[in-house]
């Protein structure tokens, strides 16, 4: 969801700063939630088909693994692109309709899993006929632990969702951005993994020249993920720019439709389940809330009908599990900071600041221009998550002894500086532009 939040904030910063605040916030919040769906698709063994030591030199396994990554990546970002388009396409989606859509997605997921991801009985070496994790076809004599796949459910659900948006809702931007998302994910995941596979397949190349110094410090998995993120973000941005004339926003006066007590009740339920699934071992909650579309049901519906939920979702709700994992790592596992300092710096202060910002934004006039918050929120979230990630990775300062986290941390630092420069430059430029241009969406 961090990727979903940052990508969506870039998009609304570029294309929605002149629109009313509440519809823009809904678009960013929906994209943030939808980006989290794809994490339910197991992909570690699919990556392994392309670079695991026993399979290096096995071209058929490489091709099959890359195909699996393209399918899973396309479905992953396809949902994010679709919900970005839903938010930016100018059509009003109420909570009742979004509830129906999400229940439809869950139902189609179940159908798709049954059709494409069954049968699954590893004890008898029975696997689905289309299977993209490690199996005995590639390593017939190995002791394997095949993973249950669910990409078939995501495929059927995404096709059904796009069909509804295209033929029933006539939402041209949502369907187009869904397809652009599929393209970005299908390109980005294999492209990123090609770096890691090239390293595994060509060890001699990385034992000469500058690589003799750099290679021991390179975390190729991190660079795979970073390349994936760059590609998906650039593709979504290109798609949105090409279809920028279709960007529109419903009136902020069309909602909210959920009473405030209902909003807060849904928030309490969602946060309780989220904390339970992230930090506690509760089998019933894990079965209910560990599947991305199921976890996203309450947020998608509440964002559609609430005035508070878009802001709360983007700020404290997205932050909560990240802050908790940072605290757990720094204070409880690595013991790099004391408990009081860890709770204060990793959880209390960030969550307090995020909640206060969300409350302030929710209390403003929903018809006010989004330009007052898109840039500052992008700036704040960029540095907040960079800081938490930097702490989680043991503070890999470039002037200290380099670790396998240092090169990627420097890449993220350059990206954060670039985003910061873009925000500052845009705000300076907007002060010099005529008001009519500043207030026009996409300007």
Q: How many Å apart are CA 274 and CA 28, to the nearest integer?
A: 20
Q: How many Å apart are CA 196 and CA 217, to the nearest integer?
A: 14
Q: How many Å apart are CA 209 and CA 88, to the nearest integer?
A: 49
Predicted pLDDT of residue 442: 45
What is the number of structural domains in the chain? 1
For residues 177, 183, 189, 190, the Cα torsion angle rounded to the nearest 10 degrees is 180
Predicted pLDDT of residue 256: 65
Q: How many Å apart are CA 323 and CA 106, to the nearest integer?
A: 29
Give the angle subtended at the CA of 289 by the CAs of 329 and 113, to the nearest 5°: 120
Q: Domain range for residue 204?
A: 2-438
pTM listed for this prediction: 0.94
436: tokens are 């009519």
Handedness of CA 187, 190, 196, 202 (dihedral sign): negative
Q: How many Å apart are CA 184 and CA 270, to the nearest integer?
A: 30
Give, as one character, the DSSP assignment of residue 137: T
Predicted pLDDT of residue 254: 67
Give, as one character, the DSSP assignment of residue 330: I
C-alpha closest to that of 439 among 89, 93, 24: 24
Q: Is the link from the previous residue into 119 a cis peptide, with omega within 30 of 0?
A: yes
C-alpha closest to that of 49 among 67, 25, 22, 24: 67
Give, as one character, the DSSP assignment of residue 149: P
390 — phi, psi (to 5°)?
-60, -40
Q: How many Å apart are CA 440 and CA 40, to the nearest integer?
A: 38
350: tokens are 């960030």
Q: How many Å apart are CA 54 and CA 158, to the nearest integer?
A: 35
Q: What is the full per-residue pLDDT of the chain (443 aa) written as tens digits?
A: 899 999 999 999 999 999 999 999 999 999 999 999 998 999 999 999 999 999 999 999 999 999 999 999 999 999 999 999 999 999 999 999 999 999 999 999 999 999 999 999 999 999 999 999 999 999 998 999 999 999 999 999 999 999 999 999 999 999 999 999 999 999 999 999 999 999 999 999 999 999 999 999 999 999 999 999 999 999 999 999 999 999 999 876 766 689 999 999 999 999 999 999 999 988 888 888 989 999 999 999 999 999 999 999 999 999 999 999 999 999 999 999 999 999 999 999 999 999 999 999 999 998 899 999 999 999 999 999 999 999 999 999 999 999 999 999 999 999 999 999 999 998 887 766 554 444 444 44
Strand-pairing partners, residue 248, are 89
Predicted pLDDT of residue 284: 87
Q: Is residue 273 part of a domain?
A: yes
Q: Is residue 443 part of a domain?
A: no
Q: How many Å apart are CA 413 and CA 312, to the nearest integer?
A: 27
Element (H, E) at 390: helix 374-392
Under a CB-based contact definition with an 8 Å cutoff, are residues 431 and 375 in contact? no
Q: Is the link from the previous residue into 256 a cis peptide, with omega within 30 of 0?
A: yes
Distinct helix (H) and strand (E) counts, the chain: 20, 0
Strand-pairing partners, residue 20, are 369
Q: Is the link from the previous residue into 381 a cis peptide, with omega within 30 of 0?
A: no
296 — phi, psi (to 5°)?
-85, -5
For residues 390, 391, 392, 396, the Cα torsion angle rounded to the nearest 10 degrees is 60
């Amino acid at each position: 969801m961090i990727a979903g939040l940052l990508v969506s904030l870039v998009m609304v910063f570029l294309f929605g700063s002149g629109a009313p605040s509440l519809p823009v916030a809904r678009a960013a919040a929906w994209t943030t939630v939808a980006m989290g769906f794809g994490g339910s698709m197991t992909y570690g063994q699919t990556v392994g088909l392309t670079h695991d030591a026993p399979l290096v030199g096995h071209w058929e396994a490489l091709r099959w693994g890359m195909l699996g990554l393209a399918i899973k990546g396309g479905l992953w970002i396809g949902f994010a692109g679709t919900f970005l388009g839903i938010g930016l396409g100018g059509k009003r989606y109420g909570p009742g309709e979004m509830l129906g859509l999400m229940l439809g997605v869950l139902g189609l997921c179940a159908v798709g899993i049954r059709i494409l991801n069954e049968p699954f009985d590893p004890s008898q070496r029975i696997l689905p006929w289309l299977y993209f994790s490690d199996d005995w076809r590639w390593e017939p004599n190995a002791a394997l632990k095949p993973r249950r796949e669910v990409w078939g459910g995501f495929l059927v659900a995404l096709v059904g969702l796009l069909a509804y948006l295209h033929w029933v809702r006539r939402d041209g931007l949502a369907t187009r951005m869904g397809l652009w998302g599929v393209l970005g994910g299908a390109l980005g995941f294999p492209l990123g993994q090609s770096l890691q596979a090239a390293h595994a397949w060509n060890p001699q190349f990385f034992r000469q020249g500058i690589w003799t110094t750099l290679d021991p410090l390179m975390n190729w998995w991190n660079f795979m993920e970073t390349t994936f993120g760059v590609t998906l973000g650039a593709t979504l941005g290109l798609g949105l720019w090409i279809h920028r004339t279709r960007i529109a926003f419903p009136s902020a006066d069309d909602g909210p439709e959920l009473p405030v007590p209902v909003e807060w009740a849904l928030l309490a339920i969602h946060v309780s389940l989220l904390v339970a699934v992230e930090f506690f071992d509760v089998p019933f909650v894990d079965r209910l809330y560990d599947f991305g579309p199921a976890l996203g049901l309450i947020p998608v519906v509440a964002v559609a009908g609430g005035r508070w939920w878009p802001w709360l979702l983007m700020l404290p709700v997205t932050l909560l599990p990240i802050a908790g994992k940072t605290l757990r790592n720094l204070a409880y596992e690595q013991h790099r900071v004391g408990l009081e300092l860890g709770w204060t710096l990793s959880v209390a202060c960030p969550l307090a600041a995020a909640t206060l910002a969300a409350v302030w934004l929710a209390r403003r006039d929903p018809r006010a221009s989004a330009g007052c918050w898109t840039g500052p929120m992008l700036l704040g979230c960029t540095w907040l998550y960079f800081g938490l990630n930097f702490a989680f990775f043991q503070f890999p300062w470039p002037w200290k002894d380099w670790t396998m986290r240092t090169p990627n941390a420097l890449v993220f630092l350059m990206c954060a500086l670039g985003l910061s420069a873009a925000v500052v430059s845009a705000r300076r430029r907007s002060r010099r532009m005529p008001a009519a241009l500043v207030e026009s969406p996409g300007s």
